[in-house]
Structure 1
């Protein structure tokens, strides 16, 4: 299948940007692959058509395409053309407690968020039980879309006792950085993963088709003294995220 629209976005490249034009073009194509506009096995227009559509040289197009071929996002077939290979993929080890922002930066990706809501409200019965709160005690709820290099990766709802995080507007980037600054550093966590399918609302937020496989994650984080700190429910794109666990054999008993 060949894709031409909305490939040619006039605002995608700017002569005022410090990035070279080929890097801007590569970033634009990568974004279209990430959000599903360019699907796996979609064919890119010919080099000449891309150059004319973006008003750049064919050398610029060639360098942008080669950069994405080197990343494994595009592949070329002799006498057939250039095709989308896959979306950006992230692997996260489960051996360390890190926040989304820290994890993305460690992989050379730029984390960002789009806020869906930030509120303070009485805890639900489930939240009160998990966080060890009295019924009616308030919590800060942070619901956001998490992105890596502007690609939607996960929907995340974090719930923190309001006595620890009284104002959710304090969080503009990493929640864990804010909690550390307030004197409540996360120490350990229990995390449960399960497989599922995205419902229409979740799929719409993540820009993928309804029913796309996803990783559903529930995490409870604790302070060093064992007090509950955070309750999180997330939905991660199954096509873009893997969780890796390292297993070690127990040492054999002494004879």
Structure 2
């Protein structure tokens, strides 16, 4: 990889773009695999003969593209696209576990409160009914991937200390297992606050998700609004031919 990263004197493309292009090629051809650690900036400077500022600029370009990500104190890594099924009702914790990764939570808020009018409507309850308000950053493999804000009727979570990692696990333990749900996904741009929390560029692509889940008897258990990193997630669904026709 040493020689293939060096700039070509006859190429008038800016040096940082040449480095980004060469690294991008190694990622696409599999020479640098998802999860691999990128050589340090100092090592890349020695390998390419470029200045450290130029090397950092080239790396930053690939981070903006979502091909690389930095982990504080650990280095820069090749990013892996996460395929999340949209046809299954599963939690962030379960999805991370299925990928063989450890999930973690940074709590923003965990309290009892009254719902807003929109939240009460989404939950199908009067605005005078108390809810649990949960705000948290979801991490997988130590990397912040999503921000979630959930509201749950308080009767389903009478003990806030029981809510640790998985909301669905806490609900199920209290006899309110989610068995069905709906979600809406749309593309958006990260706000400055979201960008700072998720360690991405301001106005980077994110996926906004609204989800509600129901118990077996049809009660609405949660209304959750999330912001997922668009550079890391692909939401995938399986398609089948409808009963009334043929595929076109």
Cα displacement string for residues 173-193 of structure 1 (whole angstroms, at most 9, x for unaligned residues): 111111111000001011000
Query: What residue is the counterpart of 1:197 in the other structure?
Result: 189
Q: What does residue range 14-29 of structure 1 map to in structure 2 within 5 Å? A: none
Task: Give the 4+ runs in structure 1 shifted more than 6 A.
Answer: 81-84
1:69 is aligned, of 32, 37, 53, to 32
Cα shift readout 1:127-168 (whole Å, capped 9, x = no counterpart): 111111122111001100000100010000111000111233
> What's the secondary structure of 1:69's corresponding residue?
coil
Separation in 1 of the partners of 2:244 and 2:153?
44
Query: 2:81 matched to 1:118?
Result: no
Count of paired positions = 191
In the TM superposition, what are the counterparts of 1:33-112 in structure 2 within 5 Å?
41=20, 69-71=32-34, 73=36, 80=48, 85-86=67-68, 87-112=79-104
Normalised TM-score (structure 2): 0.70
For 1:181 and 1:117, the matched residues in 2 are separated by 21
Distance 1:159 1:42 in 2: 45
> Aligned partners of 1:232, 1:252: CA distance in 2, in Å?
34
Deviation at 1:226, TM superposition (A): 1.1
Distance 1:117 1:131 in 2: 19
Indicate whether 1:244 and 2:207 are aligned: no
Contiguous gaps of at least 5 residues in structure 1: 1-39, 45-67
> Secondary structure of 1:176's partner?
helix
2:150 alignment partner, one of 155, 158, 164: 158
Given that 1:73 and 1:88 are in contact with CA atoms closer than 8 Å, whether structure 2 keeps it comes out as no
TM-superposed CA distance for 1:250, in Å, is: 2.3
Measured at CA, do residues 137 and 251 of structure 1 come closer, stay the same or move farther in structure 2, by a change above 3 Å? closer
Change (3 A) 1:123 1:75: closer
Q: d(CA) in 2 for partners of 1:212 and 1:142?
A: 25
RMSD: 2.9
User: Given the two structures, how large is their TM-score scaled by the length of structure 1?
Assistant: 0.68
Other structure's SS at 2:112 match: strand
